[in-house]
């Protein structure tokens, strides 16, 4: 028989509260919290974290020393992070790692490990890593909101790349991802309950609107330091935005590379379909404990229409509009709604039922 909540012993380490230090436990006891079917989330500096990731945040914030040549990728979870990690790694390292080779790092290593996350890879488990051996430019990723980034990131000349995705697609991807993480003895995580919490801002690193708008506003204030990208734009015009990304990271394509088709080769190597079909991404686990395959589902634009009702889509859109007005977002706004809702659409009940039967 399935249980409503799993005992700690059945949870992966990265979802357990009893793995953190006593100091972190003491802080957790003072923070607002929300229980979900999978874990307890704690609100710290205005955003929601699970215990182990928050411990990584607490280590990362004072100890990470950004260098001027660093490049940080920032996203909310399930916004296309793995794809952009692959693109950024390949762009920066294309001189040393020829793209058309069988031993390219992407063939043997998941992009998540090639561009490590600050708070739950490098600074997790109460560790402070020595990053001096990392070659310049160092590539890191984070899900931290802009206001919670380490002080050294704000004070240095390091670059920030932010990838934004339609929150409706993000929610559907998050729901699938959460169900992949759940122990087998736990009932499937309720879709409607998770949606309700998401609309309240209770999700990994949520509220999503504050996360997106924090980086968007910084991209307007400081475009030399901050590049704001949209997942939907990159899917629609990948060559254009790959060139933008390369230019921003100070590794633009040469005329020779353009002639030789290097842009298209990078897009082919880093395509969602190619990455998903690599053996390394079908089996095994990351250093953080996640299964490699958990990061590859569909990667499509507008998949939310197969799961959300028109009313649910409208509800999210109304939340977004209200937040944009409150933050004074005007003409140059982040496209938080790249896919217009279709009033005649119906969610794909077969897909939902199939997921419920797993």
Burial pattern 209-232, b for ≥16 Cβ within 10 A else e, equals: bbbbbbbbbbbeeeeebbbbbbbb
Nearest-angstrom CA–CA distance, 35 and 29: 14
Nearest residue to 5 via CA among 13, 15, 355: 15
Backbone angles phi, psi at 28, to 5 degrees: -55, -35
Q: What is the DSSP string of 171-230?
A: HHHHHHHHHHHS-TTBPPPPHHHHHHHHHTT-STT--HHHHHHHHHHHHHH-TTTEEEEE
Report d(CA 302, CA 304) in Å as an integer.
5
Q: How many CB atoms lie within 10 A of CB 115?
A: 23
Q: How are beta strands 139-142 and 33-35 bridged, if at all?
A: unpaired
* C-alpha to C-alpha distance for 22 and 179, rounded to whole angstroms: 29
3-state secondary structure of 285: strand
Which residue, 206, 198, 258, is CA-closest to 45? 206
Element (H, E) at 90: helix 81-93
* Catalytic residue from among 143, 196, 327, 345: 143
Cα gap 181→153, rounded to integer Å: 31
Assess whether 143 carries a catalytic annotation. Answer: yes
CA-CA distance, 76 to 167, in Å (whole number)? 10
Q: Where do the H-state alpha helices sit in 222-309?
A: 231-236, 238-248, 255-259, 262-269, 272-277
What Cα–Cα distance (Å) separates residue 42 from each residue in 75, 144, 168, 269, 295? Answer: 19, 14, 23, 38, 24
Active-site positions? 143
């Amino acid at each position: 028989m399935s249980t409503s909540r799993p005992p700690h012993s059945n949870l992966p380490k990265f979802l357990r509260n009893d793995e953190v230090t006593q100091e972190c436990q003491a802080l957790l006891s003072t923070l607002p919290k929300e229980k979900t079917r999978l874990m307890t989330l704690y609100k710290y500096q205005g955003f929601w974290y699970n215990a182990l990731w928050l411990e990584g945040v607490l280590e990362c914030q004072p100890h990470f020393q950004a260098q001027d040549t660093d490049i940080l990728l920032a996203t909310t979870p399930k916004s296309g992070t793995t794809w952009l990690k692959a693109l950024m790694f390949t762009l920066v390292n294309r001189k040393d790692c020829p793209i058309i080779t069988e031993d390219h790092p992407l063939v043997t290593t998941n992009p998540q490990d090639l561009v490590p996350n600050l708070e739950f890879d490098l600074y997790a488990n109460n560790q402070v890593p020595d990053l001096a051996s990392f070659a310049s430019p160092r590539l890191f990723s984070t899900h931290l909101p802009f206001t919670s980034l380490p002080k050294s990131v704000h004070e240095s000349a390091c670059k920030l790349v932010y990838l934004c995705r339609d929150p409706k697609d993000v929610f559907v991807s998050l729901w699938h991802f959460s169900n992949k993480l759940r122990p087998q003895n736990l009932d499937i995580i309720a879709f409607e309950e998770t949606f309700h919490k998401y609309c309240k801002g209770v999700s990994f690193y949520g509220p999503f609107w504050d996360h997106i708008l924090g980086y968007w506003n910084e991209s307007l204030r400081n475009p030399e330091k901050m590049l704001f990208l949209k997942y939907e734009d990159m899917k629609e015009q990948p060559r254009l935005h790959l060139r933008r990304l390369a230019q921003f990271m100070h590794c633009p394509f040469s005329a020779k590379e353009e002639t030789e088709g290097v842009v298209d080769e990078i897009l082919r190597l880093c395509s969602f379909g190619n990455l998903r079909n690599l053996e390394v991404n079908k089996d095994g686990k990351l250093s953080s404990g996640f299964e490699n395959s958990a990061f590859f589902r569909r990667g499509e634009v507008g998949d939310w229409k197969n799961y959300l009702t028109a009313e649910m889509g409208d509800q999210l859109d109304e939340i977004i509009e209200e937040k944009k007005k409150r933050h004074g977002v005007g003409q140059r706004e982040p496209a938080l709604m790249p896919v217009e809702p279709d009033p005649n659409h119906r969610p794909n009940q077969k897909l939902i039922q199939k997921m419920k039967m797993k």
